[in-house]
Structure 1
Amino acid sequence: MLVPGASSQALTAALASELGEPLAAVEYDRFPDGETLAAVPGFDADTATIVASTASNDAYIELLQLQDAVREAGAEEVTTVIPYMGYARQDKAFEVGHPISARAVARAVSTTTDRVVLVNPHEDAIADFFDVPVDIVDAAGLLAEPLPELHNPLFLSPDSGAIDIAETVRDAYGSGETDYFEKVRHSGTEVEITPSETDFEGRDVVITDDIIATGSTMSEAVAVLTDGGANRVFCATVHPLLARSARTKLSRAGIERVIGTDTIERDVSDVSVAPAIADVLER
């Protein structure tokens, strides 16, 4: 039986359809003091697959409650699918005395589940933070599906560390070059982008990344491309967090379209990761 987190209801429904499995009835509530309550009234199954993106602190508490609730209801085997893992970019201590937050939340999730499935975590090594087996789904190739026909396409990543995503999207699309920008981060919101050496004038460009958070990096890259004569510029991201004014930044920079998956359910979630997750769950 599939159990949806509040922020992953559409994805869980799609996954239930892929697997031919029923959806559990779930209730999400909040007490007067602000504490959350996630419950599965009437749950009656030996196995449970919880699907919950954790883009907020409340979402993590809700996930832990759902895991505990299905155990309390008698589930003998629990699988936790985290389409988007919050805190995944805090995978090391920034300075002495700081936590490794990705490890902290991974250990908490591990206490009441038997298996975890992640979709494009910030680093694959994050899987090592969990105390249970972890499978990683690579959904980057799905981002090519909604792309229109492109003229002399160029697939760019914001930095060298994400070039594999650009290559995956390019391969799925079927043609084009790949390259990356040089990026220097001066603060949490200030990023300096150095143009790629690849000629992009008159070409359609797709900037790819695992996540668009505040949009600062992407908007800088889009502006460099549009100012330099690129034809059309698209952004393709597995996790369209799009926090704060990210959409406005991208629009002002001249973006043609933002394409994302439903790991975080947004209006730009043009493609579902449900089939890719279903393939892993059925192994």
Structure 2
Amino acid sequence: MTTIVSGSTSQSLAAALSRDLEEPLAAVEYNRFPDGEVLASVPNFDDDRAIVVASTVSSDAHLEVLQLQDAVREAGASEVVTVLPYMGYGRQDAAFEAGHPISARAVARAISTGADRVLTVNPHEEAVCDFFEPTATAVDAAGRLADPLPDDLTNPVFLSPDAGAIDLAETVREAYGDGDTDYFEKTRHSGTEVEVTPSDVDIAGRDVVVTDDIIATGSTMSEAVAVLQERDVGNVFVTCVHPLLARDAVTKLSRAGVSAIYGTDTIERQTSTVSVAPAIAAKL
């Protein structure tokens, strides 16, 4: 029998996955000692297979994953599958300079020690999957971003932040079933002045859906949206798989003229309007 085990950061997603797979959800306790140390435990766990679901949005969340893996193994689980809806440190996939770690590799090695299999959703660079042993499975949930979009978009254009991410925009457009795709092109005019414009498609009077894998501070995205507003765009919707949205990111995007922000529940925020549970379930 399989039981879903949730980290504290992914409780809604774990519950959704439990429903999709029709597998029970374990009772999990999250505690903290007076000295600051965390303790995640799974009282009364008694199954052969555990699926640990936890986005590692903080150092504590990383430690929770290791503890939950160890707890279910200690309780007798013969197979541990670890699902990282959002892999923290995943963007640190190379050493920035001499003496720096490859942090994505370091955390992948640690998580691999307690898992028989690892899945992660839309990693910023899919190559980070190779840091796991065995290699992690990348789950593409970008198509889920089409679900919360209005059904009556006007001649929509799906824009990616750069040419390298056009596949994400194409995936969302295909799932939506209508529209064109394009990407933002950056033109550097000086050391400090960079112009960001759609590369090809005319956007005047058209609704635009800006797609990205992750929005962190929202600074670059809000600048791009401001450019769209200067070109007489229709409504602008921002979608992302991982709505990190740190600090005042939502305010920045709203001030830039965004009609709505849609994210998934890989990171559970108010903007998490669609679940990646079906995409994960399909890979399990």
State how far apart, in whole Å, the 2-side matches of 1:182 and 1:89 are.
22
TM, length-normalised to structure 1: 0.95
How far off is 1:135 after superposition? 1.6
Q: Which amino acid aligns with 2:250?
A: R
Q: CA deviation at 1:182?
A: 2.2
In the other structure, the counterpart of 2:4 is 2
Match of 1:143 in 2: 145
Query: Residue 193 of structure 1 contacts residue 217 of structure 1 at CA under 8 Å; is this kept in 2?
Result: no
Compute the displacement of 1:192 (Å): 4.2
What runs of 5+ residues in structure 2 fail to find an aligned partner?
Answer: none
Aligned with residue 115 of structure 2, among 113, 116, 127: 113
Question: Is residue 246 of structure 2 the alignment partner of residue 243 of structure 1?
Answer: yes
Aligned with residue 202 of structure 1, among 201, 205, 225: 205
- 1:226-281 per-residue CA deviation (whole Å, 9 max, x = no partner) reads 12211100001001111111001001101000011111111111111111111110
Q: CA deviation at 1:210?
A: 0.3
For 2:265, the equivalent position in structure 1 comes to 262
Task: Work out the CA distance in 1 between the residues paired with 2:124 and 2:187.
Answer: 18
- Written as runs of structure 1 = structure 2, the 5 A alignment for 1:1-283 is 1-148=3-150, 149-183=152-186, 192-196=194-198, 197-281=200-284
The secondary structure found in structure 1 opposite 2:204 is: coil
Q: Distance in 1 between matches of 2:186 and 2:213?
A: 15
Alpha-carbon distance in structure 2 between the residues aligned to 1:160 and 1:37: 43
In 1, Cα distance between equivalents of 2:193 and 2:97 = 21
Q: After the TM superposition, which segments of 4 or more aligned residues of structure 1 sit over 3 Å from their partners? A: 190-193
Counterparts of 2:195 and 2:48 in 1: how far apart (Å)? Answer: 51
Deviation string 1:105-140 (CA, Å, 9 cap, x unpaired) is 000000011000111001111110001242211000
The DSSP-based 3-state class of the residue aligned with 1:118 is: strand
| Identity value in percent | 68
Aligned Cα root-mean-square deviation (Å):
1.4
Give the Cα–Cα distance (whole angstroms) in 2 for the partners of residues 71 and 118 of structure 1: 21
Aligned mates of 1:80, 1:70 — CA distance in 2: 11
CA distance in 1, matches of 2:128, 2:100: 17
Which residue identity lines up with residue 215 of structure 2 in the other structure? Answer: I
Deviations 1:184-207 (A, max 9, x none): 89xxxx994511132111110000
Rounded Cα–Cα distance in structure 1 between residues aligned with 2:122 and 2:179: 23
